[in-house]
Amino acid sequence: MSFPWAKQYEPKHPLMKWVDDRLPLPRFVYNAVGAGYPVPRNLNYFWNFGVLAGMFLALQIVTGIVLAMHYAANAGIAFDSVEHIMRDVNAGWFIRYAHANGASMFLLVVYIHIARGLWYGSYKAPREMVWLLGVVIFLLMMATAFMGYVLPWGQMSFWGAQVITGFFSAIPGVGETIRVWLLGGFAPDNSALNRFFSLHYLLPFVILGVVILHIWALHIPGSNNPTGVEVKSEQDTVPFHPYYTAKDGVGVGVALLIFAALIFYAPNLLGHPDNYIPANPLSTPAHIVPEWYFLPFYAILKAFTFDFLWIPAKLWGVLAMFGSILLLFFLPWLDTSPVRSANYRPTYRIFLWILLVDVLVLGYIGGAAPTPAVILIGQIATIYYFAHFLLILPIVSMMERPRPLPNSITEAVLAGKGGTSPAQTALATE
């Protein structure tokens, strides 16, 4: 929404006026991320994570383009070409570690970004489209990350591709045909590696396009805020620049420090040692695990150990895994509470914390060896995950008595409760 009190762009330099008269790009930037964009005055640091996600997307594209200059998408030499990048290419180790750890940082940041949306009800009207486009971005990110992990052609690359594409063969009748079509062969090989590389290069630009739509959709209603109460007057807002450019700057600095610590001190912390062994179709690793950010979904995939309702267990696993993400598309309509922010929703808040624990448990189970106890815990955690969205959320939305909302953002700020984070809320209610 363009608020009536939004500042109007006035070029200060004749050159900017010249450009603006011919192509109003300076005006566009001013209104999108400059002083011409009024933003709620009470945003806390959780609102840094969208910008951080954008930063990591940009870093992935830049480091990826440099890697592609030296990488060879050929099953015979892909592994060696990565070693060549690590040893022979100037600063190649740095670019590769930045790209590999950048993927982890990107997903971590996006997970926090999603959790922020869940806590503050940012998926609710009128921001459903922002959320829906976010879920599309998330799906594209997962596909991109999966294909990227195959490229070094190590043992985990190969066997990961084998396992994940193997699940498509669970689709009745056409499954095996789809799998062969996806791989371009009966097992991951040169044709699979080539198409994964091609798509891994393409998809980040598709993500970039959807991110532009995501931010466009956000600029129609404007940002949500920790109270979940909409902006009512000029008093409730501050200009994006300099207030949030400065606040985002703090987040960017902290994120880059953590990123640098990973690259320089623990570059292989999040990787699997087996991926330093060249792919060998004749030797299956004892324990095939995906990257950490896929572990909760991997646990859901493995939770089905028995056939049910004429559907084989493997197909249930695939349906549940995709379902666990596709479910997010329906979230704006599953949660019918008129109150957005969990700060004012005492019951919803408790279940959100339980969901967080549940996802962490799923993450642990996804990486653990499948003992009977691990399988059982994985099944319970999977049931809880679906129950949260399909049962608990609609029921809580109906039954809960939210706490009284402030009349305005300004009122909450003046009462000292404007920008409360989940931790502050927990302290305040103790």
Active site residue 247: yes
Q: Give the 3-state secondary structure of residue 237.
A: strand
Span interacting with ligand HEM, options 92-100, 148-156, 209-217, 308-316, rule CB under 6 A: 209-217
Element (H, E) at 211: helix 190-219
Q: Specify the DSSP class assigned to residue 154.
A: B
Touching ligand HEM, residues 222-241 (CB under 6 A)? 223-224
CB 60 within 8 A of CB 106: yes
Residue 113, marked binder: yes
Distance from C-alpha of 166 to C-alpha of 324, rounded to nearest angstrom: 19
Which of 222, 269, 340 has its CA nearest to residue 97? Answer: 269
Task: Work out which of 99, 124, 214, 388 binds ligand HEM, going by CB under 6 A.
Answer: 214
Q: Measuring CA to CA, how many Å separate 168 from each of 25, 101, 153?
A: 46, 29, 21
Q: Going residue by residue from 303 to 332, which x/- string records binding to ligand HEM, judged by CB under 6 A?
A: -------------------------x----
Distance from C-alpha of 403 to C-alpha of 400, rounded to nearest angstrom: 9
Q: Is 166 in the site for ligand HEM (CB under 6 A)?
A: no
DSSP 263-322: HHH-TTTTS-GGGGSB--TT---SS----GGGHHHHHHHHS--S-BTTB-HHHHHHHHHH
Touching ligand HEM, residues 27-56 (CB under 6 A)? 47, 49-51, 53-54
Q: Is 107 in the site for ligand HEM (CB under 6 A)?
A: no
Task: Work out which of 215, 325, 368, 405 binds ligand HEM, going by CB under 6 A.
Answer: 215
Task: Work out which of 117, 204, 332, 419 binds ligand HEM, going by CB under 6 A.
Answer: 117
Q: Please, which residue, 89 or 207, has the CB nearer to ligand HEM?
A: 207
Q: Please, which residue, 224 or 410, has the CB nearer to ligand HEM?
A: 224
Q: Specify the DSSP class assigned to residue 152.
A: T
Q: Measuring CA to CA, how many Å separate 385 from each of 137, 293, 357, 389?
A: 21, 16, 10, 7
Size of the site for ligand HEM (CB under 6 A): 29
Active site residue 248: yes
Task: Work out which of 127, 179, 247, 272 binds ligand HEM, going by CB under 6 A.
Answer: 127
Which of 70, 219, 241, 417 does the annotation list as catalytic? 219
Span interacting with ligand HEM, options 111-119, 176-184, 345-353, 355-363, rule CB under 6 A: 111-119
Distance from C-alpha of 98 to C-alpha of 259, rounded to nearest angstrom: 8
Active site residue 10: no
Element (H, E) at 145: helix 128-150
Element (H, E) at 40: strand 38-40
Task: Work out which of 67, 85, 107, 110 binds ligand HEM, going by CB under 6 A.
Answer: 110
Q: Please, which residue, 20 or 128, has the CB nearer to ligand HEM?
A: 128
Task: Work out which of 57, 255, 377, 381 binds ligand HEM, going by CB under 6 A.
Answer: 57
Task: Work out which of 82, 98, 137, 183 binds ligand HEM, going by CB under 6 A.
Answer: 137
Which of 109, 187, 105, 99 has its CA nearest to residue 148? Answer: 99
Which of 291, 314, 324, 388 does the annotation list as catalytic? 291
Active site residue 17: no
Q: Specify the DSSP class assigned to residue 338.
A: S
Q: Is 130 in the site for ligand HEM (CB under 6 A)?
A: yes
Which of 278, 298, 276, 303 has its CA nearest to residue 288? Answer: 298
The answer, yes or no, to whether the previous bond of 126 is cis (omega within 30 of 0) is yes
Q: Is 192 in the site for ligand HEM (CB under 6 A)?
A: no
Which of 122, 223, 324, 337 does the annotation list as catalytic? 223
Residue ranges at the known binding site for heme b: 99, 113, 200, 214
Catalytic residues: 219, 223, 247-248, 291
Q: Which residues bind ligand HEM (CB under 6 A)?
A: 47, 49-51, 53-54, 57, 110, 113-114, 117, 120, 122-123, 127, 130-131, 134-135, 137-138, 207, 211, 214-215, 218, 223-224, 328
